[in-house]
Amino acid sequence: MATHKLLLLPGDGIGVEVVGEVKKLLAWLEGKGLASFAIEEDLVGGAAYDDHGESISEAAMKKAAEADAIIFGSVGGPKWAGVPFDKRPEAGLLRLRKDLDLFANLRPAIVYPALADASTLKREVVEGLDILIVRELTGGTYFGEPKEIVTLESGEKRAVDTQVYTTREIKRIAEVAFELARVRRNLVHSSEKHNVMKSGLLWKEVVTELHKAKFSDVKLEHILADNCAMQLVRNPKQFDVIVTDNLFGDILSDAASMVTGSLGMLPSASLGAEINGKRHALYEPVHGSAPDIAGKGLANPIAEFGSFAMALRYSLGLGSLADALERAIARVLAEGVRTADIAAKGENAVGTAEMGKAVIGALDKELATA
């Protein structure tokens, strides 16, 4: 059996609690002889800053580069509000994304039937929703130069951010989207603003050419980013895979995620380029460190479990175990187990450890009947 190298980076706040549940799952899987892991753990974010004055150490970066998958919790919190900008907790995560060139951010938005009422949209609009947003993560407005605030002669200030994309950057993210669509429902919506932005024009052109050359079996639709935002709240089930740039992806994926009802349910993956059958990959929940509930044992670990399921599928070659884990999550929800963030008024809520135990118990049942 292959031994998979994992680096656990729990980080701050509830990151530590939810990664703690994944650790129990790892031990359980090994105990059952279902998988074998070589596990390392290190500090990131505020915890790393408190320990050695940086948001991630060189040693942790080296382990990250060598890992088959990084299982990340969350970083940040009010305790570190005053630390220098380049040492703030988020800088550790940004460095991982940048140094490992994790350009493809995958954010599924799934509505489990048992939780359809947790959405602010009507049950019939969201029940059974299963979409995947593929966001370009290392280019565009957040990284383009010049990026500055300058004082003009008049004393007025001027701020500049630069939206910039190259053919290569657009092509590689579109490739990921088309490939994923092939194993889903075979539909890609490419979202940009070609009507008002040069980068949108190039984006549309490159995606269209790539589609013609390599992916004509996949259905491709182009959609303006503003219309995409509207359609996501009007009729989200029309989508399968949406591919978009860094800035629009940030906004569209947050909108899509809220359609599902709770931050505690949402996993994500950030992938690098595949080189010799291997790629750098970081898996993390969409939520932050939730300082308001940290340390209380109340956090929902499902987003972290879902992120680990993505690691099983995309990095460890254990797709059927990933399917079983996702079915286990659905089973637990169908049985009515709820943490406070997803409990309806008057419903009993369990804590982090009980939810973790319930998911592992359901996985045991799923594997026994598989």
Using CB under 6 A, list all residues that contact ligand NAD: 14, 74-77, 93, 263-264, 284, 287-293, 299-300, 303, 341
DSSP states of 174-240 as a string? HHHHHHHHHTTTSEEEEEE-TTT-HHHHHHHHHHHHHHHHH-TTSEEEEEEHHHHHHHHHH-GGG-S
Residue 342: CB minimum distance to ligand NAD, A:
8
Nearer to ligand NAD, 14 or 173 (CB): 14
Q: Indicate the length of the chain as a whole number.
A: 370
Q: Which residue has tokens 């998958």?
A: 69
> Residues 289, 291, 292, 297: is their CA dihedral positive or negative?
positive
Tokens of 35: 């998988």
Provide the H-helix boundaries in 235-349. Answer: 246-259, 302-314, 319-334
Nearer to ligand NAD, 224 or 263 (CB): 263
Peptide bond into 146 cis (omega under 30): yes
Nearer to ligand NAD, 64 or 293 (CB): 293
Nearer to ligand NAD, 138 or 199 (CB): 138
Nearer to ligand NAD, 133 or 207 (CB): 133
Nearer to ligand NAD, 263 or 330 (CB): 263
Residue 285: CB minimum distance to ligand NAD, A:
6
Helix (H, G, I), strand (E, B) or coil at 41: strand
**Among candidates 282, 302, 297, which has minimal Cα distance to 75?**
282
Q: Collect all residues with Cβ–Cβ distance below 8 Å to 281 and sequence separation of at least 6.
A: 68, 69, 70, 102, 269, 270, 271, 272, 311, 314, 315
What are the catalytic residues? 142, 193, 226, 250, 254
Residue 314: CB minimum distance to ligand NAD, A:
18
Residue 144: CB minimum distance to ligand NAD, A:
22
Element (H, E) at 36: strand 36-41
Residue 80: CB minimum distance to ligand NAD, A:
8
Residue 74: CB minimum distance to ligand NAD, A:
4
Residue 369 burial by Cβ neighbours in a 10 Å radius (0-12, 13-18, 19+): exposed
Q: Collect all residues with Cβ–Cβ distance below 8 Å to 165 and sequence separation of at least 6.
A: 136, 139, 140, 199, 202, 203, 245
Residue 318: CB minimum distance to ligand NAD, A:
24
Residue with nearest beta carbon to ligand NAD: 288
Nearer to ligand NAD, 317 or 336 (CB): 336
User: Which amino acid makes up residue 90?
Assistant: E
CB contact at 8 A, 134 and 180: yes
Q: Collect all residues with Cβ–Cβ distance below 8 Å to 364 and sequence separation of at least 6.
A: none
